[in-house]
Amino acid sequence: MPADGAPRLTGVLPAALASIGGGAGPFDLPAVESAVVVLVDGLGAHNLRARAGHARFLAGRMAKRDVIRTVFPSTTAAAIGSFATGLMPGAHGLMGFRVPDRAHDRVVNQLSGWDGRMVPEAWQPHPTVFDHAGERGVRAVAVGGTRYATSGFTRAVLRGAEYRAGAKIPDRFAEALRVLDEGPALVYLYVSELDQIAHAHGWESDRWLAALEVLDAELAAFEQRMPRGTGLLVTADHGVIDVPPHRHVFIDADPALVDGVRHVAGEPRCLGLVLEDGLDDDARAVLLERWRAAEGERAWVMSGDEAIAAGLYGDVEPANVDRVADILVAARAGVAYYDRREPDRRGEDMVGQHGSLTDEETRIPLVRLGAYARD
């Protein structure tokens, strides 16, 4: 991961807000009347450059320096949590896809697992950038898919924004234009389709390319049609790599690697192993070394304490320490880790993957358009 101070996703939305009527915030954006930030789920810098011929508008406007880093783990819950709050995962607490909820002896899904024991406003208590916009008198609007309008994750990260829904990519861009026509605003537009297609078919599939072409055409038309004085940024939450079935690693194949493991959290590219409470320090150290011996050549294997000390999550607030797994296994080779003892094994059908620390997963675009365009 980059050193502290490296350009990150955490600065993007605060920079857009700072530029409205002002400027000189993160990334030195010029002053604008309105700001639109498009976050494309799963469009890493590598993915965009490798398929530049299918995104001639966006790739053609992307300079070499228009690349920043996402957070760890490189997954949607953690990354959009950081994008929307301006905080690292250790602060906002959405520290991965599936994280330990030790108080209830379970693993919880940060995107869809919200329930009465995981209330969004308590689980992620920090103000969002949209809340800060309201304090400044700036209208804040989030434009996303219809099914996300009232989700627990939306409540956790989009507080302070009016939510407007659009079923398809063109619908969302049309809605964003309507918002701008109503007056100055901070607009966040979320594109989920590329990530969804990548998971199901791979980012190298024809379906993914078709969705990229739709997105590119909509961005080009949107920049032409949006009001003068509007800044437009295009970024992502993470990149994607394709992992074929023959590159799956089944952790249960070696009983010694799962002996003492109570829960398997995280995701296939970034496992989080939660150990049995009764395991003493020596036994925990032995299991960590077993994992290093078995997977150290194709994964970064570290204890949760080591990950915290290394600053991978940023500064971790005391309330969030228990959400870090005891052992983390972050793939650096093109593999994905699975546990065949899981009752629901549909995850093994996924092609596109992300979550780890590789450049393909962590380097994301930050393309400046409209009033933000570089000279």
Which tens digits make up the pLDDT trace of 197-222?
999 999 999 999 999 999 999 999 99
Sequence-separated (6 or more) residues with CB below 8 Å from residue 336: 243, 247, 248, 249, 268, 269, 350, 353
pLDDT of the residue at 5: 57
Q: Report pLDDT digits (tens) over 279-289.
A: 999 999 999 99
The secondary structure of 72-119, three-state, reads CCCCHHHHHHHHHHCCCHHHHCCCCCEEEEHHHCEEEECCCCCCCCCC
Residue with tokens 């790599």: 241
Distance of CA 19 to the CA centre of its chain: 23
Gap between the Cα atoms of 48 and 351, Å rounded: 18
User: What's the pLDDT band for 26 if we cut at 50, 70, 90?
Assistant: confident
CA 350 – CA 344 distance, rounded (Å): 13
Q: List pLDDT tens digits, range 300-352.
A: 999 999 999 999 999 999 999 999 999 999 999 999 999 999 998 999 999 99
With a cut of 70, say whether residue 29 has pLDDT above it: yes
State the Cα–Cα distance between residues 336 and 284, nearest whole angstrom: 23
Runs of H (alpha helix) within 158-254: 169-181, 193-201, 206-225
Stretch 86-102: mean pLDDT: 98
Q: What is the pLDDT of residues 50-85, one digit of tens each?
A: 999 999 999 999 999 999 999 999 999 999 999 999
Please name the residues in contact with 331: beta carbons below 8 A apart, sequence gap of 6 or more: 268, 269, 270, 298, 299, 337, 355, 356, 358
Concatenating the DSSP letter of every residue in 267-289 gives ETTEEEEEEPTT--HHHHHHHHH
Tokens of 287: 């299991």
Residue 305's contacts (CB-CB under 8 Å, 6 or more residues apart) are: none
Residue 168 CB partners (closer than 8 Å, separation 6+): none
Please give the pLDDT value at position 22: 83
In one-letter notation, the amino acid at residue 157 is V
Determine the pLDDT at residue 1. Answer: 42
Q: Indicate the helix (H) or strand (E) that contains 63.
A: none
139-175 pLDDT per residue, tens: 999 999 999 999 999 999 999 999 999 999 999 999 9
Q: What pLDDT score does 2 carry?
A: 42
Q: Write down all domains in the chain, each with its CATH number in brackets.
A: 9-241+358-370 (3.40.720.10), 245-353 (3.30.1360.180)
Which structure tokens are listed for 187? 């607009």
- Specify the pLDDT at position 7: 86
Helices 76-85 and 12-19, interaxial angle, to 10°? 30
Report the C-alpha gap between 334 and 101 in whole angstroms: 29
Q: 330: Cβ–Cβ under 8 A, 6 or more apart, which residues?
A: 73, 269, 270, 271, 299, 300, 301, 302, 355, 356, 357
- In this prediction the pTM is 0.97
Structure confidence at residue 6 (pLDDT) = 67
